Amino acid sequence: MNQNKRDGRNAVEEIDVLVVGAGFGGLYQLHQLRKEGFSVKVYEAGAGLGGIWHWNCYPGARVDSHIPIYEYSMENLWEGWNWSERFPDWQELRRYFEYVDKKLDLSKDICFNTRVTGAEFDEDSNSWLVQAGDGLQIRAHRVVFCTGFAAKHYVPDFEGLDDFKGVWHHTALWPQDGLDFKGKRVGIIGTGASGVQVLQEAAKDAAQVTVFQRTPILALAMQQKKLDKETQLEMKKHYLDTYKLRRENFGGFDIISSDKSAMEVSEEERQEVFEASWQKGGFNFWSGTFWDVLLNEESNLKAYEFWRKKVHARVNDPIVAEQLAPLTPPHPFGVKRPSLEQNYYDLFNEEHVSLVNLKETPLKKITANGVKTSAGEQEFDILVMATGFDAVTGGLMQIDIKGTRGKTLKEKWEFGARTHLGVATAGFPNMLFVYGPQSPTGFCNGPTCAEEQGDWMVKCLTDMRENKVQRFEATEDAEESWNRHMDSLLSKTLFGKADSWYMGANIPGKPRQLLMYPGGLQLYLMQCYESTSAGYSGFMLNK
């Protein structure tokens, strides 16, 4: 691996492009920009490749997008790689990134254990001076942030947490050498994806597991399958068609919904469509039933009622079943990101697994020995904080990024993110972000976005170089136009009816706004390339 100057001398290395983050997006940028002849490096806070898959090593962590959708579409990569499961776990994802690294020779241009702490734009040189936590500095003409949507974890301000005598960890900062649940009393706070996945593992070995639920998770059947080499060889005959469909799909998947409304078909047909999607597993029941489920409340309720019956059929205690899947929906179905489960609901039939409904018995404090709610205190050896993230904007705003107008990015976005095309923001020239705010992000499969949005960014940077543009910057007018477009799209959906991380509602004091582009990948890319065709409309270009 190339080493930057760390000896304290005044010399600062200068490069064309610095990429921040070595997940799917950052590695794709590195590979494609090198092919275009740019001098480029990646700074990565973790000790290895994979971005979220370096940090996600908690028990049960696995991807919720199926294979081959959740991998690069480059034939020279997939032709020599085989998965063991339809939904791989974190260990297999790490092996995949090691394989990609060897094939593309990436690590030589990556600085690991290098967390970017600050960046300041220098108007004299039209470049960014970027600082890392160990004192390392580098000067880059352009910076591409690939920090992802989950780079800043969130732990609520629980009274007494520092007094807890047991072991506690947030799932995003799990010990890399693991943690043994055997014979332990385990409390899981939170019921998002990581809470669901941890329970499915902890229940195997723990003496007692208690799940603290604030809002029921509307988890979907994963329908996991083992994959052997013969199955993979057969699948690969159709990979090119699959990836073509992925590029043309609303969410970057290969899932196609009916062109009918849920309300224009008979009850029998509606149930058949729901059941077929359920049996396919994964996100099929989320986005592969009827086109209006996320737009029309009546259609949405039909989907929720189907889901509720599935849960109640698996939970023996009707009181627990009602807490997990209440008669009145906690929010419209699908407007919070669904988790995938394998045996989550069945586990509540086990004597050593219990559910605490925090809406009925609120959490009062963490004590030295456990958790105290309004109903009393429970003792635990291990607490798992499955409490989510300051999503999408948090990872960028935690870096001290100083632009040209006397403000940091955190200050500029104090009342909400403002971007042009979800890739750039006024006052911060020569800076782009992949999988960031107001782009498809959480509504789009990660590898698809890394490639499709990533290709646009590589073209943008290449065009700027070829046209000798020294400085490009989003305009405020373009930001306002994009924001109005986002609001218009939001008003046609049900997403605003839930307090979700999609809306920034899980973080106290965070501005309420839809953080991801809800119009689909194709509409999004069309507008990006329309800007390109118009000479990068919405950007100020200076030679």
Residue 370 neighbours by CB under 8 Å, 6+ apart? 164, 166, 185, 187, 377, 378, 379, 380, 383
The tally of CA atoms less than 13 A away on the side-chain side of residue 331 is 18
Buried b (16+ CB within 10 A) or exposed e, 148-161: bbbbbbbbbebeee
Instruction: Mark residue 504 as left, alpha or beta (left: phi above 0; alpha: psi -120 to 50; beta: remaining).
Output: left
Torsion of Cα atoms, 198 then 199 then 203 then 208, to 10°: 110
pLDDT, one tens digit for every residue, the chain (543 residues): 444 434 443 579 999 999 999 999 999 999 999 999 999 999 999 999 999 999 999 999 999 999 999 999 999 999 999 999 999 999 999 999 999 999 999 999 999 999 999 999 999 999 999 999 988 999 999 999 999 999 999 999 999 999 999 999 999 999 999 999 999 999 999 999 999 999 999 999 999 999 999 999 999 999 999 999 999 999 999 999 999 999 999 999 999 999 999 999 999 999 999 999 999 999 999 999 999 999 999 999 999 999 999 999 999 999 999 999 999 999 999 999 999 999 999 999 999 999 999 999 999 999 999 999 999 999 999 999 999 999 999 999 999 999 998 899 999 999 999 999 999 999 999 999 999 999 999 999 999 999 999 999 999 999 999 999 999 999 999 999 999 999 999 999 999 999 999 999 999 999 999 999 999 999 999 999 999 999 999 999 999
Q: Domains, the chain, ranges and CATH?
A: 13-49+106-152+391-542 (3.50.50.60), 161-228+256-385 (no CATH)
What predicted TM-score, i.e. pTM, was given to this entire model? 0.95
d(CA 397, CA 393): 6
Strand partners, 383: 168, 187
The pair of three-digit structure tokens given for residue 367, joined into one six-digit string: 């004590």
How far, in Å, CA of 513 to CA of 268, rounded? 38
Query: Which candidate, 414, 459, 419, 415, places its Cα nearest to that of 435?
Result: 419
Task: Name which of 112, 67, 148 is nearest 454 in CA terms.
Answer: 148
Q: Which of 392, 394, 365 is nearest to 378 (CA)?
A: 365
Q: How far apart are the first and last CA of the chain?
A: 34
At 325 the pLDDT is 98
Which amino acid is present at 180? Answer: D
Asked if 43 contacts 130 with a C-beta cutoff of 8 angstroms, the reply is yes
Question: What is the H or E stretch that residue 120 is in?
Answer: strand 116-122
Which of 174, 169, 150, 152 is CA-nearest to residue 91? 174
Separation of alpha carbons 228 and 226, rounded Å: 7
